[in-house]
Amino acid sequence: MIWIVIASGLALYVAWNLGANDVANSMGTSVGSGAVSLRQALAIAGVLEFAGAVLFGQRVVDMLASGVVSPDQFTDTPQVLVLGMVSVLLTCGLWLNLATRLGLPVASSHAVVGAIAGFGWAASGLHSVNGSLLGQISLTWLVTPLISGAIAAGVYTVLRRGILQAPQPLQQTYEWLPWLSLVLVSGFGLIVLPGLQPAISAQISDQISDQISDRISAQINLPFHTLALATGAIATLGLSAIAARPVVLSDAPNPTEDNGEGIAVKLANPVEQIMARFQLISACFVAFAHGSNDVGNAIAPLATIVHLTQPAGDDAILPMWILGLGALGMVGGLAVWGGRVIATIGKGIVALQPSSGLCAELATAATVLIASRVGLPVSTSHALVGAVVGIGLSQRNSQIHWSMVRQIGLAWVGTIPLCGGLAAAIFWGLISLTH
């Protein structure tokens, strides 16, 4: 129990730093474009990070807790596994803390996977590390920014040609409102809904789940896909109605700037005001996606330690308090330390407006949620930075700050070996102290 208390404190510390770094970069495009304030970003993250962690975080936590280094190798020496997970938590917390102070949006998934591999190597040698899984995860890290960037660039190109460069962009925007709403709702629904029922069932007993399903079916007498389509239709109409509200223009002089492609880039532009409303929804999707994937980076080592206290053969569901601890820490870290990373993502790579920020967040949320469905710990920062760069490349005259991109890339590459070596050193130190 002492080690659980220590690991819980370290997990909260990691989640705090993860919130300051990863949650901040997931909300950076919204805050940087002016679509939401930092206070609104905190509220969005607080609710949806928790929801994503509870409903979709189980698979990623399980993979990190037992996939990279199997706990079965330490059946006879559970104290070694406990010290290893403590070293992983301490390593990730220190590295994320340093990166946040420097304003670098590093990948927490890099940190935790590298730290777990480093501990496994230090404890039992390279043979104890699942090399094939590491290769699979590394491949997703390489592919994630490319896929996200391609999606973001494609969506933004369609939006730019269909609305922003139209002779009457405001009128064109209102004509596109139902279709934009449909894309947002259906995209999120197709990715999330198929895994939502199993995720809810995992948190309650099968008997209670079946009773609830039977009662709903008896009362409504409609198949599940009909209910899903009806929910989607209602959500699409509601989102269209909210976005179609009249915009309020300021009488203060604010000359229109141009980015070289005939697109007004001031937030006072009514088209951008409408896009800001959509970006608020896309920010919710990103927060949900981030909670579903990256919360495992903070709490998987703690989950491994807690599992050791359970009876042999007991495959109990991850306790809710562990997920709540991770979500609470991420929100607190965003509120206190998240400003620097938000500035890097929102303004440091390329100037964003709500229209371009919307495309970046849609691409990021889709990429990360799909990875969460299959249980792969991808990097939200990879997806988001790739999306922002993709949008910058699709704008022929945009000024991409390549020095910042190179700095972020070096931080990504250096995270794995640094965290692996640091975790091994801390593990050896803990072993020496305990002996």
What does the alpha-carbon distance between residue 300 and residue 322 come to, in Å, rounded to a whole number? 9
Which residue in 330, 334, 346 sits closest to 388, CA to CA?
346
The answer to whether 352 and 324 are in contact (CB under 8 A) is no
**What is the structure's pLDDT at 254?**
43
pLDDT of residue 86: 92
pLDDT at 193: 67
DSSP 111-156: HHHHHHHHHHHHHH-GGGB-HHHHHHHHHHHHHHHHHHHHHHHHHH
Lookup result for tokens 């939200």: 380
319: its two tokens: 């306790």
Strand partners of residue 264: 258
CB atoms closer than 10 angstroms to residue 334? 29
Phi-psi region of 352 (alpha: psi -120 to 50; beta: other; left: phi over 0): beta
Q: What is the mean pLDDT of each successive set of 10 residues along the chain, which is 435 residues long?
A: 86 83 65 69 76 72 74 83 91 84 72 88 84 79 87 90 88 88 81 61 51 57 67 84 72 42 49 83 80 78 81 60 80 71 57 80 85 75 83 74 73 81 92 83
Q: Rounded to whole angstroms, how far apart are CA atoms 343 and 384? A: 14
